[in-house]
Amino acid sequence: MELAPLLQYLISGLTNGAIYALIALGFVIIYHATTIINFAQGEMVMLGALSAISIYHLYPSLPLAFLGGVALVTLVGIVFERLALRPVRDPNPITLIIITVGGAVFIKGVAMLLWGKEAYSLPSFSGDAPFHLGTATILPQNLWVLGLTAVVLLGMEAFFRLTLVGKAMRACAYNPRAARLVGISLGRMVQLSFALSAALGAGAGILIAPLTLGVYDMGTMLGLKGFCAAILGGLGSSFGGVLGGLILGVAESLATGLISSGYRDAVAFFILLLVLFIRPQGLIRGGS
């Protein structure tokens, strides 16, 4: 086996893996606050990419497009929680699954009406001139994805460990009733968790858009793979989610390169089934 293509697969795998990790973290945050799996998470990724692209077409500034896209989708996340999940009277898992799946399908349909079925491109954050590492080629965007993901993950960790609001959110995850007793507003924390995870999803979408283009139906697959990553890492832990994302990305990329590109998407779900059947608690046992 030659080393050159392996390195290339590793780089593209890590890039995709970082995106999965961001999406996985979104799942973990909402799951922590509410024990809901938000199947609409992938659509936030798509909305982030497409709205950033639209903003960029109106006013060509990448930082503005990034921040604008994230802000817009954060709002969508908050509205979604308020309109679709808070009014539910009997919140059992089957009801919540159906509602969030319905929300995902709905958002995707609206995006199809707004943007049509074409794919749109977003320019790379700092040019397309590749540089070489041995025989492998690295695009600047690969580094942006990896770097920004690392920054965001560290930021999230600091937020949950060091700030009062972050600690309050962890308290809700640990014991909602006790959290309420010490004066934490549970509703506010749930809303915040939806806002945060929508923002993470949108950020992931905008980061990947220069590499893969933005289309109305890109969210479903990305969301599901983010969920695979979250399960792989054990739903309760953000570190696990990140690890799961990176493993998934690399495994997928290796399988694409070494076996066949047609079955690329099957890899993630095959790993998901294996994990669910053999070690449903994930690689790292959950818990706050």
Partner 1 sequence: MNPRKFLNPWVLFGAAALLTAGVLDNDYYLTLINFIGIHALLVVGLNLLMGYGGQISLGHAAFFGLGSYTSGILTATYGVNPWLALLAGLVVCGVTAFLIGVPALKLRGYYLAMATLGFGIIVYIFFTEAHKLTGGPSGLAGIPSLSIGGFKLDTPKRLYLLIWPVLGVILALSANLVDSRTGRALRALHEGETAAQSLGVNTAKLKLLIFIWSALYASLAGSLYAHTLNFIAPSSFGFMFSIKLVTMVVLGGMASIWGSLLGAAVLTVLPEILTMFHDYEVIIFGAILMVVMIFLPRGLVRGLKDLWEFRRYKKEGGIIG
Give me the residues that bind partner 1 (CB under 8 A), please.
37, 84, 87-90, 93-95, 97-99, 101-110, 112-113, 220, 224, 227-228, 231, 260, 262-263, 265-266, 269-270, 272-273, 276-277, 280
Which residue from 121, 126, 149 is spatially nearest to 138, judged by alpha carbons?
A: 126
Query: Smallest distance, Å, CB 255 to partner 1?
Result: 12
Residue 280 or 287 having the CB closest to partner 1? 280
Could you tell me how far CA 188 lies from the centroid of its own chain? 22
Which residue from 57, 84, 78, 80 is spatially nearest to 68, judged by alpha carbons?
A: 57
Which residue from 54, 101, 58 is spatially nearest to 206, judged by alpha carbons?
A: 54
Residue 89 or 132 having the CB closest to partner 1? 89
**Sole residue written with tokens 């832990």:** 237
Query: Smallest distance, Å, CB 157 to partner 1?
Result: 25
Query: Smallest distance, Å, CB 165 to partner 1?
Result: 27
Residues 6+ apart with CB under 8 A from 188: none
Residue 181 or 278 having the CB closest to partner 1? 278
Rounded Cα gap, residues 273 and 130, in angstroms: 37
Query: Smallest distance, Å, CB 34 to partner 1?
Result: 12
Residue 89 or 177 having the CB closest to partner 1? 89
Residue 184 or 225 having the CB closest to partner 1? 225
Residue 56 or 227 having the CB closest to partner 1? 227
Long-range Cβ pairs for the range 185-191 (8 Å, 24+) = 187/86, 189/33, 190/33, 190/34, 190/81, 191/78, 191/81, 191/82
Residue 114 or 133 having the CB closest to partner 1? 114
Query: Smallest distance, Å, CB 94 to partner 1?
Result: 5
Rounded Cα gap, residues 196 and 23, in angstroms: 11
Residue 75 or 112 having the CB closest to partner 1? 112
Rounded Cα gap, residues 49 and 120, in angstroms: 9
Tokens of 12: 């593209």
Query: Smallest distance, Å, CB 240 to partner 1?
Result: 16
Query: Smallest distance, Å, CB 228 to partner 1?
Result: 8
Query: Smallest distance, Å, CB 120 to partner 1?
Result: 19
Rounded Cα gap, residues 218 and 47, in angstroms: 9
Per-residue CA distances from 279 to 31, 251, 275 (Å): 19, 18, 5
Q: What are the beta bridge partners of residue 131?
A: 138
